[in-house]
Amino acid sequence: MSGAFRISNAGRLTPARTARFTFDGKAYTGVEGDTLASALLANGVHLVGRSFKYHRPRGFLSAGAEEPNALVEIARDSARKTPNVRATVQELYDGLSAKSQNRWPSLSFDVGAVNDVASPFFSAGFYYKTFMWPKSAWKNLYEPNIRSAAGLGVAPDQPDPDHYSSRFAHCDVLVLGGGAAGLAAALAAAETGVRVIIADEQAEFGGALRFESGARIEGQGGWAWAQGIVAQLKAMGNVRVLSRTTAFGYYAQNFVGLVERVSEHLADPGHDVPRERLWQVRAKRVVLATGAIERHMVFADNDRPGVMLASAARTYLNHYGVAVGRNVGVYTANDSAYGAAIDLKKAGVNVAAIVDLRDNPSGTLIDQARAAGIEIHDGRAVTRVGGKLRVSSMTVQPKNGGGERTIAIDALLMSAGWTPSVHLFSQSRGKVAFNEDKRFVPGTYAQDCVSVGACNGTDGLAASMDEAYAAGTKAAKEAGGKATKVSKPKVDADEIWSRGMLGSAPGAGPDTTVKAFVDFQNDVTAKDIRQAVREGMRSIEHVKRFTTNGMATDQGKTSNMHGLAIAADMLSKPIPEVGLTTFRAPYTPVTFGAIISHARGPLFDPTRRTPMHGWAEKHGAVFEDVGQWKRAWYFPRAGEDMHAAVNRECVTVRKTAGLFDASTLGKIEVVGPDAAKFMELLYTNPWEKLEAGRCRYGIMLREDGFIYDDGVVGRLAADRFHVTTTTGGAARVMNHMEDYLQTEFPHLNVWLTSISEQWAVIAVQGPKSRDIIAPLVEGIDMSDEAMPHMSVREGKICGVPTRLFRMSFTGDRGFEVNVPADYGQAVWEALWAEGQKHGAAAYGTEAMHVLRAEKGYIIVGQDTDGTVTPNDAGLDWAVGKKKADFVGIRGLTRLDLVAKGRKQLVGLRTKDPRVVLEEGAQVVDNPNQPIPMKMIGHVTSSYWSENCGRSIALALIAGGRDRAGETLYVPMPDKVIEVEVTGMVFFDEKGERLNG
Amino acid sequence: MLLIRCPYCEEERPELEFRNAGEAHIARPTDIAAISDDDFEKFFFIRQNPKGIIYERWRHLHGCARFFNAVRDTVSDKFVMTYKAGEPKPSKLPGVSK
Amino acid sequence: MAKAAQKTGIVEAERHPALAGRNASAAHVTLTALEPAERISLRAPEASLAALSKALGLTLPKKPKTSTSKGGRTALWLGPDEWLVIDDAGGDLLADCAKVKQLHSAVGVSHRNVAIGVTGPGAETTLNAGCPQDLSLAAFPVGGCSRTIFGKVEIVLYRTAEDAFRVECWRSFSDYVFTFLSEAARDAAA
């Protein structure tokens, strides 16, 4: 048995195919194809949640994505818990486990409901006004307590074990919405042969045909016709049909984001199936067929469980075969609720009465209701309902006042009319227009899209489908489709319902204090909106923020128009003058999983490894992240901490030699007859006279005169330079060079090619470096005479090509061995084997930093920060004084850059040699001055230098070079450190070791 | 995500392949070393940042890697046209009055 | 080379390609780390193309997103003056270009790039998990090629058959690209 309220012979599900599920621990049985909502209703369960602020009992308002009340937690296991799932959307699967939210200790007895009794204190703006003082209490007292009392679901605290996928897709015509209009548009477009994608948020296509029993198309029921069309579309090679897929965002140039719920409805999704799939669709034309959403009536206690939209009750009956009650009342201001009443009556449900706010309503549906023997109270209003956890009666009163009458009911169906779903249209930056039917409909379009059917304010099935078919044909033609024979579907019978009402119903007007809900999810009543206007809010945007109306995750799908009408009424202004709030993406909540899709774990960001990474790993390297690169930081041996390892590495390099993986350096090959001319323009140094086979340290500036990058450049031939950049600067330096070459110096015959990853680079540094390399090299004379410091040779090492640089970033004799990347590991291993004969060590980036600091070599980005000139860095010698032009030449002569007192890079020696300064520490000249002290600079690099037997530091100090010998101070929280200003070179000041 | 027509690839390509590169038609003075502080300020620091039509540089970084120029409306975020680097500022813009 | 090595006693360095031996297959798509190939980045003005084409033995394509292929060599148009030339047959592209006196720049990038084969009916779908371009046959026909984006990195994409692509990326990004492709392949059935 799948529930006492399941009606035999009603609905489209197969009763034999049952599915078991639990709600708040209690076991129930539903039917495959149910939503959690329909399955609970079939079991007579209406109470499913507590409201956000007042903790009022809540049931199901709708049967779709607009649901503001029935939010539950679905848990598959301890890690897979999804809060705030709309029970009206969640499809049932065998074993589903759901829990109600925002209640304690239980759903039927909730302590938090005291907020409802105390609600006069919790009116709109309460939080803003009450929790102001003292300021500090907000963070420690108010916010934590409010947060725990309010809010809906609880986020899971474990990593999400599911996986998500993404897909870029392109099509000619994208149809959003798979109701009658959407299907007609898709069919029309598809027949022209263009690429079509049609998406609908429901499990099955058909839209309002799910409940609209009066529709007949092409000689069959509307629903059956829809299923036939879907099958036809699926069979076409040019059409992609996406069900359970929500278009959540409409972005520039017909770029639409869709989320497909791939396995949320499956009991056992399996390993390879993603939970959700993100579609990023680019469409030449978009057809919006998003339908309309029914509005509720705004009257006292309209949030009681059992009070729901008429179309929802009709859907539960006609699609799921579920009666929402045994004795239902109807409260309406338009015709559509009559259809629900008639269908329920036919199914054997007692319809206690239809209360119609209109005087003397007339039309086919009204006649049919009368004929079915349903009592109609026209010109009357439902002023309140009875019952606490479930509606038990409705109180009916003539709309202009008079005698009350209470009618017993167990469900109340309501309809205030239909609101066209213009959300996606609005997201596309289209402007809505308020039409004579008091509806906001698409007005001015901003993109290549068109709205059809109910979302366009078009009433009636026949008219909607005509409009949709024409729009589909036109969109396809504009997208390049060929005209074909027309097979427009013919509508035999339809239902037409328009009009309705906006705002509060009688009995919930300005003179009352009742709780007539406008926004169920955020607990906003008609009274709150009026209060916002009374307190001075004039724009609907302010009313919205003051009351939070429409700001919940349902984005006011049912509440916006009512809220607007109530505000307009209070302001005595027409609705369009008060204005509609802008709809923003997402249309319904989207999981972070779907947005991130593949980009998690190892795919969150690329991890770049050098060709020698495996060797370093095997030899115990500790790695550090440098941008996306993993670089060997230091190589600790047994029993060594970082300090000991780095000290040993530094000493070994200077004593014998060290091997260092420098592969991450950026490398650019500059080729062409104008290569030297180009280098002259991009670097401060002169290049024209650099001989082939020689190297030079180059500095690159930005146009403003500040250091942008640096590196050693080797001239391989008259027309070929091998340029190196910093690791972090590789991409931007290439871009900077291309920019100038392409746009400022396009007359130069030169080309740039990134070779960063073509060459693995092994730095061999130290007095024994040549002895280690030479035995493996062929075709290069490595003697000091043939290959002096700062030269480059091409030859072979280990039988493979090399570009061998003699250069040093340590101040000792050194080489950088470039080999094609795939040979990097093998050549490293060969050099390592040679090195072992001399006691060489592998060293990491930390030792590299220390060794270069001992020599006062700067690191761009550490010792410079984008405001440092070559002069500031003590590198004036690298600026070609006779050059007529280079990038930055004019910047260097700016007043600020030649002014006295600029911060200059200097060395600092702590008075106590054992004290190592903190990088970034501020420097002052008088530690006894009052706080805030005048800071004259900061430490940029600081290390313990085992080779110097003391700490060393570089700092940018105002007028630094003139302060040589001065004592300065570095104030720290617990002490003041005395330092002496020195030159930048701490080791081998004469530079004799380069040839040592 | 915008679609941008690359004048070198001769088709519209997804924005992910491109990088904006600031305002267009600001030529680096050929005698830059000699220009006044005021002229340098105008050249290097001052930009239009208009509301409406802007002439700007883009690079099809992850495509043909060419720099090119584009006319874009900063209000609607729509591209009016694109053209190759070095071509003059268009005197007439398609579909734009004034 | 081996001879020289014997003479000097130097052991020739072994080559370790980045994705050596990696492959993956899913229901509709197979991923293969392709064998090392010779590659150059070729840059040249229009006037040099005839001479370069002659030296390389294939006509350099001039139209965007197109390629030419002959005798194990393929030239991919990457930009108006830029080609990626790949030789799978062991030819020496740099030596061939060195004979050309006309203006050009040929730079060896054999080791910079790594190639991955993506084949099978799900190839297009797999690539569209991270590539924003329209890869339908109409927009990206067989022989079509383009530098583009895959996830967070740059690739060169070359369609070798209706259901086969060659993906080229830089060496250090190859692990990311291969891993992403493997993930995407799992979802390429739909």
pLDDT at A226 exceeding the cut of 70: yes
Mutate to test the interface with A, among C22, C35, C83, C171 (most CBs of A within 10 A): C171
Q: How far apart are CA A573 and CA A993, in angstroms?
A: 87
Asked if B32's CB is within 8 angstroms of A895's CB, the reply is no
Task: For strands A307-309 and A411-415, give the pairing.
Answer: parallel
For residue C81, the chain A residues in CB contact (below 8 A) are 751
SS3 A286: strand
**A542 shares contact with chain C (CB less than 8 Å):** no
Nearest Cα residue in chain C from A271 = C186
SS3 B58: strand
Number of domains in chain B: 1
Choice between C189 and A11, residue whose per-residue pLDDT is larger: A11
Q: How far apart are CA A218 and CA A221, in angstroms?
A: 8
Q: How far apart are CA A415 and CA A332, in angstroms?
A: 5
Listed in sequence order, the residues at least 6 apart from A747 whose beta carbon sits closer than 8 Å to its beta carbon are none
> Residue A231 has which token pair?
């099958």
Listed in sequence order, the residues at least 6 apart from A966 whose beta carbon sits closer than 8 Å to its beta carbon are A925, A980, A981
Residue A311 phi/psi, 5-degree rounding, is -65, -30
Asked if B67's CB is within 8 angstroms of A738's CB, the reply is yes
Residue C4 included in any domain: no
Give me the residue from B8, B14, B62 closest to C64, CB to CB: B8
Q: How far apart are CA A74 and CA A634, in angstroms?
A: 48
Question: Residue with structure tokens 């540089």?
Answer: B57
Are residues C62 and C88 located together in one domain of the fold?
yes
Are residues C56 and C95 located together in one domain of the fold?
yes
pLDDT tens-digit map of A165-209: 999 999 999 999 999 999 999 999 999 999 999 999 999 999 999
The predicted structure's pLDDT at residue A494: 83
**B57 shares contact with chain C (CB less than 8 Å):** no
Whether the link from the prior residue into A506 is cis, omega within 30° of 0, is: no
Q: How far apart are CA C54 and CA B56, in angstroms?
A: 40
pLDDT in single tens digits along all 190 residues of chain C: 444 444 568 899 999 999 998 999 998 999 999 999 999 999 999 999 999 999 999 999 999 999 999 999 999 999 999 999 999 999 999 999 999 999 999 999 999 999 999 999 999 999 999 999 999 999 999 999 999 999 999 999 999 999 999 999 999 999 999 999 999 999 987 5
- Helix, strand, coil shares of chain B, percent, nearest 5, are 15, 35, 50
Number of domains in chain C: 2
pLDDT at A644 exceeding the cut of 70: yes
Are residues C130 and C66 located together in one domain of the fold?
no
Are residues C135 and C102 located together in one domain of the fold?
no
Give me the residue from B27, B33, B77 closest to A885, CB to CB: B33
Listed in sequence order, the residues at least 6 apart from B49 whose beta carbon sits closer than 8 Å to its beta carbon are none
B26 by Cβ neighbours in 10 Å (0-12 / 13-18 / 19+) ranks as: middle
Q: Report the Cα–Cα distance between both ends of chain B, in Å, rounded.
A: 28
Nearest Cα residue in chain A from B43 = A703
C70 by Cβ neighbours in 10 Å (0-12 / 13-18 / 19+) ranks as: exposed
Out of C74, C109, C144, a domain closes at: C109
Model confidence at B97, pLDDT cuts 50, 70, 90, reads low
pLDDT tens-digit map of A42-94: 999 999 999 888 899 999 999 999 999 999 999 998 888 899 999 999 999 99
Choice between A695 and A270, residue whose per-residue pLDDT is larger: A695
Are residues C120 and C95 located together in one domain of the fold?
no
Q: How far apart are CA B62 and CA A921, in angstroms?
A: 40
Supply the DSSP symbol for B80.
E
Long-range interactions of C153-157: CB distance < 8 A, separation 24+: C153/A606, C153/C177, C154/B62, C155/C131, C156/C76, C156/C78, C156/C84, C156/C113, C157/C127, C157/C131, C157/C133
Q: How far apart are CA A371 and CA A368, in angstroms?
A: 5
Mutate to test the interface with B, among A167, A256, A429, A890 (most CBs of B within 10 A): A890
**A821 shares contact with chain C (CB less than 8 Å):** yes
Out of C61, C85, C109, a domain closes at: C109
pLDDT at A315 exceeding the cut of 90: yes
Is residue A319 within 8 Å of A342, Cβ to Cβ? no
> Residue C128 has which token pair?
């569209």
Listed in sequence order, the residues at least 6 apart from A231 whose beta carbon sits closer than 8 Å to its beta carbon are none
Domain containing B51 equals 3-84
- CA dist A28 to A7, A35, A102, Å? 17, 13, 22
Instruction: Give me the residues paired with residue C31 across strands.
Output: C24, C118
Are residues C74 and C141 located together in one domain of the fold?
no
Are residues C90 and C183 located together in one domain of the fold?
no
Alpha helices in A6-113 (DSSP H): 36-42
B78 CA to chain C: closest CA distance, Å? 19
Residue type, A690: L
- CATH assignment at residue B75: 3.30.2270.10
Residue % of chain A over a pLDDT of 90: 87
Residue C82 included in any domain: yes
Listed in sequence order, the residues at least 6 apart from A955 whose beta carbon sits closer than 8 Å to its beta carbon are A905, A906, A907, A908, A923, A937, A938, A939, A940
Residue C123 included in any domain: yes
**Cβ atoms within 10 Å of A618's Cβ, excluding its own:** 8
Residue % of chain A over a pLDDT of 70: 97
Asked if B21's CB is within 8 angstroms of A739's CB, the reply is yes
The mean-pLDDT minimum among A105-114, A272-281, A971-980 falls in A105-114
Model confidence at A386, pLDDT cuts 50, 70, 90, reads very high
- CATH assignment at residue C30: 3.30.1360.120
Is residue A955 within 8 Å of A948, Cβ to Cβ? no
Residue A773 phi/psi, 5-degree rounding, is -80, -45
pLDDT tens-digit map of A469-501: 999 999 999 999 987 776 888 999 888 777 889
Over residues A835-855, the mean pLDDT reads 98
Q: How far apart are CA C154 and CA B62, in angstroms?
A: 6
Calculate the average pLDDT of chain A.
94
- CA dist A972 to A906, A917, A919, A968, B48, Å? 20, 10, 12, 13, 45
pLDDT at A129 exceeding the cut of 70: no
Are residues C186 and C121 located together in one domain of the fold?
yes
Residue type, A226: A
Pick the closest to residue A649 from A634, A632, A666, A627 (CA basis). Answer: A634
The predicted structure's pLDDT at residue A1: 53
Quickly list DSSP for C99-123: T--SS-EEEE-TTTEEEEEEESTTH
Supply the DSSP symbol for B13.
E
Q: How far apart are CA B29 and CA B25, in angstroms?
A: 12
Domain containing C149 equals 18-36+111-190
- Whether the complex's predicted ipTM surpasses the cut of 0.90: yes
SS3 A566: helix
pLDDT tens-digit map of A341-365: 999 999 999 999 999 999 999 999 9
Supply the DSSP symbol for A164.
-
Pick the closest to residue A904 from A977, A853, A954 (CA basis). Answer: A954
Are residues C96 and C141 located together in one domain of the fold?
no
Pick the closest to residue C127 from C149, C160, C145, C107 (CA basis). Answer: C149
Nearest Cα residue in chain C from A171 = C134
Residue C103 included in any domain: yes
Are residues C103 and C147 located together in one domain of the fold?
no
Are residues C31 and C87 located together in one domain of the fold?
no
Nearest Cα residue in chain C from B8 = C80
Over residues A798-810, the mean pLDDT reads 98
SS3 A212: coil
Over residues A559-563, the mean pLDDT reads 94
- CATH assignment at residue C73: 3.30.70.1520
Residue B93 included in any domain: no
Q: How far apart are CA C187 and CA C190, in angstroms?
A: 7
**A748 shares contact with chain B (CB less than 8 Å):** no
- CA dist A133 to A94, A127, A128, A146, Å? 52, 11, 11, 15
pLDDT tens-digit map of B42-81: 999 999 999 999 999 999 999 999 999 999 999 989 999 9
The predicted structure's pLDDT at residue B40: 97
For residue C134, the chain A residues in CB contact (below 8 A) are 170, 282
**Cβ atoms within 10 Å of A82's Cβ, excluding its own:** 21
Residue C129 included in any domain: yes
Q: How far apart are CA A493 and CA A222, in angstroms?
A: 9
The predicted structure's pLDDT at residue A893: 97
pLDDT at A657 exceeding the cut of 60: yes
Model confidence at A120, pLDDT cuts 50, 70, 90, reads low
Residue C5 included in any domain: no
Is residue A84 within 8 Å of A153, Cβ to Cβ? yes
The predicted structure's pLDDT at residue A912: 98
Model confidence at A685, pLDDT cuts 50, 70, 90, reads very high
| Full set of structural domains in chain A with CATH | 18-132 (3.10.20.440), 165-292+420-493 (3.50.50.60), 296-416 (3.50.50.60), 509-571 (1.10.10), 665-755 (3.30.70.1400), 859-995 (3.30.1360.120)
Asked if A891's CB is within 8 angstroms of B40's CB, the reply is yes
Q: How far apart are CA C61 and CA C158, in angstroms?
A: 14
Q: How far apart are CA A770 and CA A804, in angstroms?
A: 11
Model confidence at A573, pLDDT cuts 50, 70, 90, reads very high
Over residues A652-660, the mean pLDDT reads 98
> Residue B12 has which token pair?
């519209």
Question: Residue with structure tokens 């049967």?
Answer: A63
The predicted structure's pLDDT at residue A110: 79
Torsion, Cα A213 A217 A222 A228, to 10 degrees, reads 160
For residue B86, the chain A residues in CB contact (below 8 A) are 743, 746
Out of C61, C92, C109, a domain closes at: C109
Are residues C93 and C133 located together in one domain of the fold?
no
Nearest Cα residue in chain C from A746 = C45
Asked if A743's CB is within 8 angstroms of B86's CB, the reply is yes
